[in-house]
Amino acid sequence: MSTTGTLKVGLVGWGAIGRVVGTALAAGEVPGAVLTCVVDNRPLGGAAPAEQVPFDTAIERCDLIVEAAGQGVVREWGERILAAGTDLLVASTGALTDEDLAKRLLEAGPGRVRFTSGAVGGLDLLQAVRALGPLDEVLLTTTKLPTTLEQPWMDKELIGRLRSATEPVEVLAGTARDVPVKFPRSTNVAASVALAVGDLDAVQVRVVADPHAVRTRHVIEAAGPHGSYRFEVAHTPDADNPATSGVVPYAVLRSLGAIAGRPGQIL
Ligand SMILES: NC(=O)C1=CN([C@@H]2O[C@H](COP(=O)(O)OP(=O)(O)OC[C@H]3O[C@@H](n4cnc5c(N)ncnc54)[C@H](O)[C@@H]3O)[C@@H](O)[C@H]2O)C=CC1
Ligand SMILES: O=C([O-])CC(=O)C(=O)O
């Protein structure tokens, strides 16, 4: 943090998440944090309320980098950010399913890596439950509009099934280790649940395409000897990028508020 006690924030990604986060930061809506610069691989013209700079400059100028761009950014820049003593707040948690990368980020320091809860809730409780012992089962079911789930690896038959679906279609079932890699812009939530539970393989994930999914739905069901837990959210998707739920930038802003210490608020 700077000597004035204000957290200097660099934002990577001026998209559905970044635009809302950057605009709120620039308007002073996160006490104790200020938007210093923006990084994007597209020229932004004057669209952003802070200077667009190359990544290296952002690392030099900022106390914290917010990643709101994609898993590749975490892979490519994560270690360099942390090694420079800058903290990193990750939205694309799917990148952290690469255990080698996650280990390197933990060892990189002196910067700290954190993740935002993003589109799901209940992560704090799942994390607390770890102290009671392992869960017997954890299931995440994510239901989204079919168009948000189409991927380059899908064959014609599957794409055809998605496009012609009139009812919900299960697109993939797997674990939090494999699913976020297959849907890099759409199932980071699976990795976030696994980070809370502490085990990628323990989290079973179902991805469902529903042509009637006006809202994106994530249902977390978990059970163990000490209790059972169910969290269900249904979000309006972002109008420009329906793969992302409209709430996600506000989850990032909440995380930023916590990191900045929420001056003036009861914590
Ligand atoms: N944790 C969670 O619950 C969620 C996480 N996400 C993650 O957040 C990411 C961003 O989401 P949106 O803002 O909706 O995406 P978006 O596609 O609307 O915007 C991404 C922005 O990042 C920029 N960008 C992409 N790659 C870049 C790179 N290598 N260097 C610099 N800029 C780059 C793009 O030009 C674009 O402006 C998603 O790809 C996803 O991985 C998204 C939704 C929920
Ligand atoms: O925004 C959402 O609902 C979830 C999402 O895209 C992701 O997990 O990557």
pLDDT tens per residue, range 34-92: 999 999 999 999 899 999 999 999 999 999 999 999 999 999 999 999 999 999 999 99
- Cα(118) to ligand 2 centroid in Å equals 7
What does the block give as tokens for 59? 């690392």
Rg of the chain in Å (alpha carbons): 19
**pLDDT bracket for residue 7 (50, 70, 90):** very high
Q: What is the pLDDT of residues 60-75, one digit of tens each?
A: 999 999 999 999 999 9
3 pLDDT exceeds 70? no
144: nearest Cα among 216, 85, 80: 216
- For the segment 233-247, the average pLDDT, to the nearest whole number, is 97
6 pLDDT exceeds 60? yes
- For the segment 15-38, the average pLDDT, to the nearest whole number, is 97
Q: What is the pLDDT of residue 5?
A: 80
- Cα(20) to ligand 1 centroid in Å equals 12
The predicted model scores a pTM of: 0.96
CA distance 28 to 50: 13
Q: What is the pLDDT of residue 114?
A: 97
Give the strand order in the sheet containing 216-224: 169-175, 203-209, 137-144, 216-224, 227-235
1 pLDDT exceeds 80? no
Q: What is the mean pLDDT of the chain?
A: 96
The residues annotated as belonging to the active site are 218
One-letter identity of residue 239: A
What does the block give as tokens for 97? 């399913």
What does the block give as tokens for 250? 């506000």
Which ligand is nearest the CA of 71, by number? Answer: 1
CA distance 212 to 178: 26
Of ligand 1's listed atoms, the one at least distance from the Cα of 238 is 14
Pocket of ligand 1 (CB under 6 A): 12-18, 39-42, 68-73, 91-93, 118-119, 185, 188-189, 192, 241, 244, 248
CB atoms within 10 A of CB 245: 27
**pLDDT bracket for residue 109 (50, 70, 90):** confident
256 pLDDT exceeds 70? yes
- For the segment 25-42, the average pLDDT, to the nearest whole number, is 97
135 pLDDT exceeds 80? yes
Q: What is the pLDDT of residue 2?
A: 55
Q: What is the pLDDT of residue 4?
A: 63
Residue 136: DSSP 8-state: S
- Could you give the domains of the chain? 7-117+248-259 (3.40.50.720), 123-235 (3.30.360.10)
N residues, the chain: 267
In terms of DSSP bridges, do strands 33-39 and 7-12 run parallel, antiparallel, or are they unpaired?
parallel
Known binder of ligand: residue 119? yes
Residue with tokens 């995380």: 255
CA distance 16 to 63: 23
Known binder of ligand: residue 41? no
One-letter identity of residue 87: D
Residue with tokens 């309320």: 49
